[in-house]
Structure 1
Amino acid sequence: MPDGISVAEYLFRRLREAGLNAVHGVPGDYNLRLLDYVVPAGLEWIGNCNELNAGYAADGYARIKGIGAIVTTFGVGELSAINAIAGAYAEMAPVVHIVGTPNQTDQANGAKLHHSLCRGMPDDFKMFAEMYEKVTVAQENLTDVSAAAAQIDRAIRECFFQSRPVYIRVPMDMVDAIIPGTPLARALDLTPAPSDPIVEDEVCNIIVDRIKNASNPFILVDAGTSRYGLSSQADELIKATGFPTATTPFGKGIVDETLSNFHGIYGTVGPNTYTSYVDSCDLIINIGPAHSNVNTYYFATVPRPEVTVAIDRNAIHIGNRVWNVSPQNVLRAVLDYLKENALGHLAPYPDLPDLCLALKYLPPVKSDSKLTQDIFWLRMSTFFHSGDIILTETGTASTGGRDFVLPKNTTLINSSIWLSIGYMLAATQGAALAQRHIARFNGPLSNGRTILFEGDGSFQMTAQELSTIIRQKLDVIIFIINNNGYTIERLIHGPQEPYNDVASWRYLEAPSFFGAKKSDTSYPVFTARAGTWAELDGILGRDELQTGKGLRIVELMMDVMDSNDTLRLMLEMYKSKE
């Protein structure tokens, strides 16, 4: 292990150790020397079209790989990315944001530098960092060679433990500064702080007692389940208890949807409405709750506290009591008990939605009739394979995706808190890259595909990242819903207003404009348009869509005000709350 190592090399080697394989970002004069260290550290550099897109891509990468990173320049770069970092904070994505800043002497002297507000004050170089304090869980400014290694390790640990963004400033004169390399001899400590085993046993016993005595139990899985590393334990609990189970919209895709006791997304409108049953439950195990209005049908599906065991990041809430314990340890103890002590026969519960049955008996369509969203999303479920990563953009796609019936080992990325339109195309780039890296470094992800469903308005927000997908030769399928503008906004307000219109693009020509070459046989491009069910079925059956590689774009022609019933009813409910 080297006696001395540069700050930048230490930083990127530690990120590589934490599981990162790529760094997203945009070069700028305050970070150029920093970028020289990315590839030598064994990381791939992904240059994005702008910093906002880079932040979205790092977020999408993190949701699949477990950690993402973005490098921007001071001021203009970091502020361009702050929307993406705030979204990662809100939706619990572990992203490390590294900012190259001016040298320390200029900062201390309040030099009037470009990318600053040029007031000639030292505070000019602090204010952007102060903004980031609101949307990151840890902030480090690497100004001391004796402390830099510990600062880097601390930031990465917080990113990992809290599954939220962190912010690291690297002044230009610190990039090549030599620090002790001895910390690299010790593995990065990513083990959580221990909790009291006596308290863990107490909580385990209470939960087991509740499980044994419940006559009407229910399990509700939310997004925190995956963020807190509880997905496999949640699956085990669902199988071991046989309790009826559902997810929130934000939790969809986390657990095995093929289990007989899985009953879709729990909501108040649409096909999976069974609030009267849940209201009668005497035990609700709520794993990883994220109670936003969108995720809870305007708070209508938040479980009653008096019957709920809520499993959070570092605590378990039962009724009005809270225990600060490791949820992983407590759940493991509960599962160990259930292995040794089988539960009694679960009393029959009412017929709840059977997703597999719904998929088996798809509603018929006329081959020459137009595509409509009321049955489109359920019918698309037959297209998915085990291992697929599926992304649904905010709007009609996100709500429609709630009707998907997913095979085992699929991942769904949606947004139920931040809802930044345009996020998903750049996130798809990051997710597809992460999928490639998992296959390369950790073994194949069941030959899964990366599949995006996005509206035309959302696509226009971040369309430049199609060029990054092409340049990196990522395998991606994109379904663009062409419904002439922001349909979800039309449904909320102003159906005929021009502010909900978008320009009419020739979407299927986009690959050529963004750099795809017909002569490049190593990266094939397939495009098609469907306006009827027959056209769509013909496209979906093609080898290019089933097993092919490269970029595949399918434009779906749908009516301007078309949506599924769930979205329409949900928006009506929201309006009634105003």
Structure 2
Amino acid sequence: MMEEDTIDLAQYLFTRLQQLGVQTIYGVPSDFNLTVLDYVEPLGLSWAGNANELNAGYAADGYARIKGLSALFTAFGVGELSAANAIGGAYAEYAPVVHVVGTPPRSAQKEQLCIHHSLGDGNFRVFSEIASRLTVAQVNLDDPAHAADRVDHALRQCILHSRPVYIELPTDMVKAQVPRARLDVLINRSPPRADEEVTKRCVERIVKKITTAKQPWIIVDGLTSRYGASAEVNELVRLSGIPTSTTPCGKGIVDETLPNFHGVYAGAIDTESNFAWAAESDLILRIGPLDADSNTFAFTALPDPGKTITFYRDSVEDDTCGDEEIFQGLQLQSLLRALVDHLPKPTMQMHQQASPGKPRGLPNPVEELQKMPLPREHDLIDQASFWPQISKFFRQNDIILTETGTASIGSRHLVLPRGCKLINSTLWLSIGYMLPASAGASAAQRELNIAASNGSDNGNGTGIPPLPKGRTILFEGDGSLQMTVQSISDMIRARLDVIMFVLNNNGYTIERWIHGMNAPYNDIQPWRYLDAPMFFGAQKNQTHDLYPIYTKRASTWGELNDILADPDFSRGKGLAMVEVIMDQHDAPETLKKLAEASSKRNFGG
């Protein structure tokens, strides 16, 4: 094979990532990945250069949830273990992260030498064995004849399953030659084709159940978006008029301005009227479920199986009327499109007429917010008023991130404009995740905005129209911020645009409500949070600089409203931090109930 017919393996890998829409590379340099990082800038990619591997992994997760794929580069051993928590979270919550690990040369591994960053026992497979439990595919690029095949396999598995994959790249393989022509054939992003006959039978069965139901209900869960079916679900909700709720993980998938959208259903922790309405529903269409205790309000929001049809990525389970049937070989997007096409118009009209202004027991969040009294100027900021009222600050296409704890639970009461995307954690719940994730989300959003300005697609060859410009808005706890505060440095380095609300309630409030309300282990060292940008190298209050810094503190609604009305803050340019002072014992009512249930379960009550 002539030299012009081949390409360096590292260049092949980065080009493949570019073809799939990846433009920012996350990670930390190490002697085992330095030579591969030499390819980043010449190929037109951006190197994030994170302060540590954990933050790099979290940022890659946030980026992947917006762009559909991300890349993380670490050293083996010390680097990848530092990132393991982030990769575990990405696996648990279906974020497609490509984790590339620079490993020692093949000769050193073969001879089982005592190499730094290893455990010193000559076993170079131990870390890949760990990774096999946290990723859906693992490949070792140790053979030039098969390296390109292995890269393509790993990337397709990452996309197909929307979960992390693990790629080992030995230092002596960076310049290994692979066929250049392979790059002319793009990686197939499409899921396996559905069985048309099975799809037809499934749709006919579901349509029959819907047309005979008196009180149908749709519950949209978070894996709907991971399976790429958000658009199809919104069409079903909009055209059918069927009352629709989400789970915490599913919040932000459904257009919340629709009249038949009724917020997050909280099971036994919800209001009596909502819980009663849910119990009376005679048909539930449950789409993309994630059945974690933290996503189902201690399992109380799980619907009655005898009334439920559950939609997974490639199958449907219908347990209604004691007539159980499982349909295999489906494809969620095409199934939902077929379902919308086959719903009879009289049925859709019936539900559409019943929905506007008639939630039939379920509230409409937009109407509820309009009815809420405005806080008075001198009122202290509390959890009950903050979450619904802050919704008025949001704009179309904002990306909103809520950290585990009071923010994540409080976000149930947010009312989102059309096109907003909400990122939270509903299974892994690793505090500190959301700060670096917001850096990744902001970078992804900037790339999408540039694509929109250029009139192109999302940069991944899918043909999906670009998103109009939005802002990245983070709600972060004081304790969580202390976990991953170096991400503020990453934001400043990359000149990322982030609006950050730091909720200062003097420690771990969610833990206080579970156990140890006044215990010292739930306290944290008070920080001067608003000094963080300056510590990490920014200039204070650079409102007219190319990268402005904005810092303010608010403890009353009058102070907060003045900040929200300030165009230097609300435009979302640069790094804007607002420290919101709240009482350390104040928490959303839902959190208090969940904490009580968690305490009983944890301590045998």
Q: Give TM-score, length-normalised by structure 1.
A: 0.97
Deviation sequence 1:278-300 (CA, Å, 0-9, x none): 22222111111000001001111
Aligned to 2:550: 526
- 2:372 aligned partner, one-letter code: L
Match of 1:405 among 412, 415, 418: 415
- Checking the alignment, whether the CA contact within 8 Å between 2:9 and 2:176 is kept in structure 1 is yes
- C-alpha deviation, 1:313, in angstroms: 1.5
- In structure 1, C-alpha distance between the alignment counterparts of 2:475 and 2:271, rounded to whole Å: 21
- In structure 2, C-alpha distance between the alignment counterparts of 1:514 and 1:503, rounded to whole Å: 19
Where do 1:487-526 residues align within 5 Å?
487-518=509-540, 521-526=545-550
SS of the residue corresponding to residue 375 of structure 2 reads coil
2:166 equivalent to 1:167: yes
- 1:266 aligned partner, one-letter code: Y
Where do 1:19-30 residues align within 5 Å?
19-30=21-32
Bigger CA drift: 105-114 or 339-348?
Answer: 339-348
Bigger CA drift: 227-236 or 274-283?
Answer: 274-283
- In structure 1, C-alpha distance between the alignment counterparts of 2:116 and 2:572, rounded to whole Å: 47
- 2:479 aligned partner, one-letter code: G
Q: Give TM-score, length-normalised by structure 2.
A: 0.92
- In structure 2, C-alpha distance between the alignment counterparts of 1:521 and 1:344, rounded to whole Å: 54
Deviation sequence 1:433-482 (CA, Å, 0-9, x none): 00001111244633211011111100000000101101111111110011
SS of the residue corresponding to residue 526 of structure 2 reads coil
* Structure 2 CA distance for partners of 1:521 and 1:78, relative to 1, 3 Å: same
2:338 equivalent to 1:333: yes
Aligned to 2:507: 485
Where do 1:466-481 residues align within 5 Å?
466-481=488-503
- Checking the alignment, whether the CA contact within 8 Å between 2:211 and 2:347 is kept in structure 1 is no
SS of the residue corresponding to residue 399 of structure 1 reads helix
Aligned to 1:280: 280
* Structure 2 CA distance for partners of 1:164 and 1:548, relative to 1, 3 Å: closer
- In structure 1, C-alpha distance between the alignment counterparts of 2:19 and 2:177, rounded to whole Å: 20
- In structure 1, C-alpha distance between the alignment counterparts of 2:523 and 2:370, rounded to whole Å: 38
* Structure 2 CA distance for partners of 1:129 and 1:384, relative to 1, 3 Å: same
- In structure 2, C-alpha distance between the alignment counterparts of 1:417 and 1:576, rounded to whole Å: 19
- 1:262 aligned partner, one-letter code: F
SS of the residue corresponding to residue 248 of structure 2 reads coil
- In structure 1, C-alpha distance between the alignment counterparts of 2:594 and 2:376, rounded to whole Å: 28
Where do 1:388-399 residues align within 5 Å?
388-399=398-409
- In structure 1, C-alpha distance between the alignment counterparts of 2:10 and 2:273, rounded to whole Å: 53
* Structure 2 CA distance for partners of 1:461 and 1:283, relative to 1, 3 Å: same
- C-alpha deviation, 1:2, in angstroms: 5.1
- 2:577 aligned partner, one-letter code: I
2:461 equivalent to 1:439: no
* Structure 2 CA distance for partners of 1:290 and 1:189, relative to 1, 3 Å: same
- 1:16 aligned partner, one-letter code: Q
Aligned to 2:141: 142
- In structure 2, C-alpha distance between the alignment counterparts of 1:510 and 1:343, rounded to whole Å: 53
- C-alpha deviation, 1:545, in angstroms: 2.3
- Checking the alignment, whether the CA contact within 8 Å between 1:424 and 1:454 is kept in structure 2 is yes
SS of the residue corresponding to residue 489 of structure 1 reads helix
- 2:33 aligned partner, one-letter code: N
- 2:193 aligned partner, one-letter code: P
Deviation sequence 1:283-338 (CA, Å, 0-9, x none): 11111100000100111111222222211122111123222211111111111223
- 1:299 aligned partner, one-letter code: F
2:567 equivalent to 1:543: yes
Aligned to 1:113: 115
Bigger CA drift: 268-277 or 212-221?
Answer: 268-277
- 1:400 aligned partner, one-letter code: G
- C-alpha deviation, 1:363, in angstroms: 2.6
- 1:440 aligned partner, one-letter code: I
Aligned to 1:321: 325
- Checking the alignment, whether the CA contact within 8 Å between 2:502 and 2:578 is kept in structure 1 is yes
- In structure 1, C-alpha distance between the alignment counterparts of 2:367 and 2:184, rounded to whole Å: 55
List runs of 5+ in structure 1 lacking aligned partners. none
Match of 2:387 among 364, 371, 377: 377
Aligned to 1:309: 309
- In structure 1, C-alpha distance between the alignment counterparts of 2:534 and 2:383, rounded to whole Å: 29
- Checking the alignment, whether the CA contact within 8 Å between 1:266 and 1:273 is kept in structure 2 is no
SS of the residue corresponding to residue 377 of structure 1 reads helix
SS of the residue corresponding to residue 200 of structure 1 reads helix
SS of the residue corresponding to residue 134 of structure 1 reads coil
Aligned to 1:297: 297
- 1:222 aligned partner, one-letter code: D
- C-alpha deviation, 1:5, in angstroms: 0.8
- In structure 2, C-alpha distance between the alignment counterparts of 1:60 and 1:343, rounded to whole Å: 37
* Structure 2 CA distance for partners of 1:204 and 1:117, relative to 1, 3 Å: same
Deviation sequence 1:158-181 (CA, Å, 0-9, x none): 110100000000011111100112
Where do 1:544-563 residues align within 5 Å?
544-563=568-587
- 2:281 aligned partner, one-letter code: C
- Checking the alignment, whether the CA contact within 8 Å between 1:22 and 1:45 is kept in structure 2 is yes
List runs of 5+ in structure 2 lacking aligned partners. 454-465
Bigger CA drift: 179-188 or 100-109?
Answer: 179-188
Deviation sequence 1:90-127 (CA, Å, 0-9, x none): 001000000000011100110000000112x3xx2100
- Checking the alignment, whether the CA contact within 8 Å between 1:270 and 1:565 is kept in structure 2 is no
- Checking the alignment, whether the CA contact within 8 Å between 1:71 and 1:100 is kept in structure 2 is yes
RMSD of the TM alignment (CA)?
1.6
SS of the residue corresponding to residue 47 of structure 1 reads coil
- C-alpha deviation, 1:339, in angstroms: 7.5
* Structure 2 CA distance for partners of 1:158 and 1:376, relative to 1, 3 Å: same
- C-alpha deviation, 1:574, in angstroms: 2.7
SS of the residue corresponding to residue 343 of structure 2 reads helix
Aligned to 2:257: 258
SS of the residue corresponding to residue 137 of structure 1 reads coil
- 1:439 aligned partner, one-letter code: N
2:13 equivalent to 1:3: no
* Structure 2 CA distance for partners of 1:487 and 1:273, relative to 1, 3 Å: farther
- 2:178 aligned partner, one-letter code: I
- In structure 2, C-alpha distance between the alignment counterparts of 1:530 and 1:517, rounded to whole Å: 21
Bigger CA drift: 286-295 or 315-324?
Answer: 315-324
**Percent of aligned pairs sharing the same letter:** 49
- C-alpha deviation, 1:573, in angstroms: 2.6
- Checking the alignment, whether the CA contact within 8 Å between 1:266 and 1:272 is kept in structure 2 is no
Deviation sequence 1:336-367 (CA, Å, 0-9, x none): 22377764523856231121112112234231
* Structure 2 CA distance for partners of 1:192 and 1:341, relative to 1, 3 Å: farther
How many residues align structurally? 575
- In structure 2, C-alpha distance between the alignment counterparts of 1:206 and 1:548, rounded to whole Å: 48
- In structure 2, C-alpha distance between the alignment counterparts of 1:273 and 1:223, rounded to whole Å: 25
- In structure 2, C-alpha distance between the alignment counterparts of 1:391 and 1:301, rounded to whole Å: 23
- C-alpha deviation, 1:155, in angstroms: 0.6
